């Protein structure tokens, strides 16, 4: 298994991470853990969260953030946290665009959700649903 990067507490208190690693904050790990437990209690598959990029949207690419019901493929990066209870799969092609990205879970006056902080993005659409590289 390829282990890429781990990262620390939100908002941006960070542990040392490998240069160019995909970083996951403690807030994001905790939220994925809560969602995983909820799915387990509902009897739904909880293999991992799959993160990646898909062609489409206003600016060319949209982020993929969905449940993976099957084990990782041989070309996936696999990140494990919380003694393997929280797992993230990232396909190798998406990883080319996601290196250096931080996945955070944020809460605020406008609501809450996962946020990709990707230094590779050259632009994004007005709705915030797609990005350009």
Task: Give the three-class secondary structure for 78.
Answer: strand
* DSSP-assigned letters across all residues of 14-70: -----TT--EE-HHHHHHHHHHHHHHHHTT---SEEEEEEEE-STTSEEEEEEEE-S
Residue 109 has what pLDDT?
Answer: 86
CATH, domain range 45-102: 2.60.300.12
For residues 27 and 35, the answer to whether their CB atoms sit within 8 Å is no
Per-domain boundaries in the chain:
45-102
Mean pLDDT of 22-37: 95
Q: For the ranges 58-62, 88-92, 116-120, which has the lowest average pLDDT?
A: 58-62
User: Judging by DSSP bridges, how do beta strands 61-68 and 86-91 pair with one another?
Assistant: unpaired
Quote the percentage of the chain above a pLDDT of 90: 48
Decide if pLDDT at 5 tops 50: no
Decide if pLDDT at 13 tops 60: no
Q: 42: which strand partners? A: none
Mean pLDDT of 103-113: 89
Mean pLDDT of 45-56: 90
């Amino acid at each position: 298994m390829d282990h890429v990067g781990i990262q620390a507490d939100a908002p941006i208190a960070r542990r040392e991470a490998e240069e160019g690693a995909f970083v996951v904050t403690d807030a994001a790990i905790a939220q994925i853990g809560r969602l995983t437990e909820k799915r387990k209690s509902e009897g739904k598959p909880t293999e991992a969260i799959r993160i990646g990029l898909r062609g489409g949207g206003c600016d060319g690419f949209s982020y993929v953030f969905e449940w993976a019901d099957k084990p990782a493929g041989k070309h996936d990066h696999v990140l494990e946290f919380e003694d393997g209870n929280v797992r993230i799969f990232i396909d190798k092609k998406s990883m080319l665009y996601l290196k250096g990205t931080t996945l955070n879970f944020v809460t605020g006056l406008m609501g809450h959700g996962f946020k990709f902080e990707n230094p590779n993005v050259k632009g994004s659409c007005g709705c915030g649903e797609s990005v350009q590289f």
